[in-house]
Amino acid sequence: MARLDITKTNDEIDRLMEVTENPRHRFLLTAYYRHRYLEIAGRYDEIFVPEMTVETPVYHFNYAGISTRLEGQEQVKGLYDMWAQTHQSIFYIEDEQISVADNFIASIATARQQVLGQALIANGIEVDEPDAYYLYKARTQMIWPYDDRGRMIGEDVWETDADKAEIIKLDAADVLTTQEAARLLAPLIKPLPNFDEYVLGTLASGAV
């Protein structure tokens, strides 16, 4: 199969930004965009700076055979680190619809995650080769809550219909490493603006 384009993953965020004027909503979308690409690039430590994420984030997953709750930076970083080290931090997003409110972002999309066969087997999903990589393709829904400073509180991620998931074996040439993803995404990962200047400053100036 032809390799998917990792740099298109956040296209729907860009499109929503084009029609979003509320400065607080624009800040949340900017943080959401940055978080997703940092995660894919394996640069997860940059997600957990105080400006982006609360001290004790809580994640809920019901996806790809996983049903779990992660609480605190140590647990979440452990997952991100394992994904980065094993090239499972690679996500492609298609057919996405995004909505932004004052304290959350919601997304419905078709997600494809690059996953090791042995990880799928460990989660109760049968595949032929434990050492091969697969794309796990499923329709997903996500809600990411944010606090009043625009910091992510956590993630709620669930797969709407596991029976309709597709598992696609990848040829070795189509496997994208975390390092390759980091190189491709580096030009797209911009610094997070200062919340007070971006949100409160804009409101005070009447530039909305």
Q: What is the DSSP string of 23-87?
A: HHHHHHHHHHHHHHHHHHTT-GGGGGSTTTEEEEEEEEEEETTEEEEEESHHHHHHHHHHHHHTT
Q: What was the pLDDT predicted at 9?
A: 96
Residues 39, 37: Cα–Cα separation, whole Å: 5
Q: What is the dihedral of CA 50, 84, 143, 196, to 10 degrees?
A: 20
- What tokens does 93 get? 């997003």
For the chain, the first-to-last Cα distance in angstroms comes to 46
What is the pLDDT, as a whole number, of residue 65?
87
Helix (H, G, I), strand (E, B) or coil at 134: strand
Please indicate, yes or no, whether the overall pTM of this predicted structure exceeds 0.85: yes
- Over the chain (208 residues), the average pLDDT of each successive run of 10 is 85 97 96 98 97 98 92 97 97 96 98 96 94 97 97 96 94 96 98 92 56
Question: How high is the pLDDT of residue 207?
Answer: 54
Q: pLDDT tens across 22-63, in order?
A: 999 999 999 999 999 999 999 999 999 999 999 999 999 999
Q: What is the enclosing helix (H) or strand (E) of 202?
A: helix 201-205
